[in-house]
């Protein structure tokens, strides 16, 4: 059984790969920016990590989205849907949580399969 880890530090890894499945840690947006900028930053980070892991957004299995404020739901969804426009959307859950600090508005966790 082989397990690979990407971008590892003493606290966590940004991605874990096992049996062709890619598990990404929660990706957070640019602190202090609005929901649109933070969502775009998160999705860019997800694209990069998936590429490094041998996957892409077309191979997503599941996403969990945490918002600091559900009033940002519509704005986030516009960017999310544009990001997924050429692929089938994965299963998804979205909820409101208190994030690591008030400067963060969004965190997204995804699971994908390798290409």
CA distance linking residue 106 with residue 26, whole number of Å = 9
Please give the model's pTM, rounded to 2 decimal places: 0.96
Query: pLDDT at position 23, please?
Result: 98
Tens-binned pLDDT, residue by residue, of the chain (115 aa): 899 999 999 999 999 999 999 999 999 988 999 999 999 999 999 999 999 999 999 999 999 999 999 999 999 999 999 999 999 999 999 999 999 999 999 999 999 999 9
Query: pLDDT at position 94, please?
Result: 98
Domains of the chain: 20-113 (3.30.1330.40)
Spatial neighbors of 77 by CB under 8 A, at least 6 apart, are none
CA neighbor of 44 nearest in space, from 31, 28, 63 = 28
Query: pLDDT at position 1, please?
Result: 81
Cβ 98 vs Cβ 68: under 8 Å: yes
Query: pLDDT at position 29, please?
Result: 84
23 backbone φψ class: left, alpha, beta (φ>0; ψ -120 to 50): beta
């Amino acid at each position: 059984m082989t397990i690979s880890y990407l971008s590892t530090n003493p606290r966590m890894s940004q991605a874990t790969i096992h049996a062709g499945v890619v598990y990404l840690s929660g990706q957070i947006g640019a602190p202090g920016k609005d929901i649109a900028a933070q969502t775009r930053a998160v999705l860019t980070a997800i694209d990069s990590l998936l590429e490094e892991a041998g996957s892409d957004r077309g191979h997503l299995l599941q996403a969990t989205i945490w918002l600091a404020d559900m009033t940002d739901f519509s704005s986030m969804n516009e960017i999310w849907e544009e990001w997924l426009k050429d692929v089938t959307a994965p299963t998804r859950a979205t909820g409101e949580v208190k994030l690591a600090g008030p400067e963060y508005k969004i965190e997204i966790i995804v699971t994908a399969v390798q290409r």
